[in-house]
């Protein structure tokens, strides 16, 4: 259950929207930040707050790359697999990340620290191949810079999301 102040803020966000759909992604993202991922309870709360049906919210939550309907690790790595990044070695970067993390795309490391996800264009095409870790953009990323970044994060303790 979300705290009363968060619930009130999200209800205000929904009430200020011309259409509840306009606020739905913001509400889902806030609930995801609270729970770590969009649990069934979060989806029920989003339906109550926005007045949208569970199906409408499910469609949103499973469409957007940055919304997670399954548990994720503490740091989510989004590696772009759209055209500019693909042209600049994105698939090789993905293979490097899989090797460095010891998991396949879509999986979470056994220690729960990282989840590796392919994603659509991050809007950082000029720095292809690009990726994001915990909402921070990086690019162009080589196997070496990816290794250095992961090492830094593993050794750095808390990393703001
Ligand atoms: S194609 Fe990768 S950031 Fe745009």
Structural domain boundaries in the chain: 4-63, 75-156
Give the nearest ligand 1 atom to 80 CA. Answer: 2
**What distance in angstroms lies between residue 4's CA and the mean position of ligand 1's atoms?**
39
Give the nearest ligand 1 atom to 85 CA. Answer: 2
Per-residue model confidence (pLDDT) at position 20: 87
**pLDDT tier for residue 150 given thresholds of 50, 70 and 90:** very high
- Residue 28: closest CA among 8, 55, 1, 50: 50
Overall CATH class of domain 75-156: alpha beta
Q: Are 117 and 130 in contact (CB under 8 A)?
A: no
65 lines ligand 1 (CB under 6 A): no
Q: Whole-prediction pTM value?
A: 0.89
pLDDT at residue 67 tops 50: yes
């Amino acid at each position: 259950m979300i705290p009363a102040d968060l619930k009130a803020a999200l209800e205000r966000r929904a009430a200020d929207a011309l259409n509840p759909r306009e606020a739905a992604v913001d509400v889902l993202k806030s609930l995801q930040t609270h729970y770590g991922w969009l649990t069934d309870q979060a989806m029920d709360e989003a339906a109550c707050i926005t007045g949208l049906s569970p199906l409408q919210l499910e469609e949103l939550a499973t469409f957007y790359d940055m919304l997670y309907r399954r548990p994720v690790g503490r740091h989510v790595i989004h590696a772009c697999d759209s055209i500019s990044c693909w042209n600049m070695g994105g698939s090789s970067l993905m293979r490097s990340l899989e090797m460095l993390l010891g998991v396949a795309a879509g999986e979470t490391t056994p220690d729960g620290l990282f989840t590796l996800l392919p994603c659509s264009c991050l809007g950082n095409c000029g720095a292809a191949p690009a990726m994001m870790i915990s909402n921070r953009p990086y690019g162009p990323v080589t196997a070496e810079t990816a290794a250095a970044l992961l090492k830094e994060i593993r050794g750095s303790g808390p990393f703001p999301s």
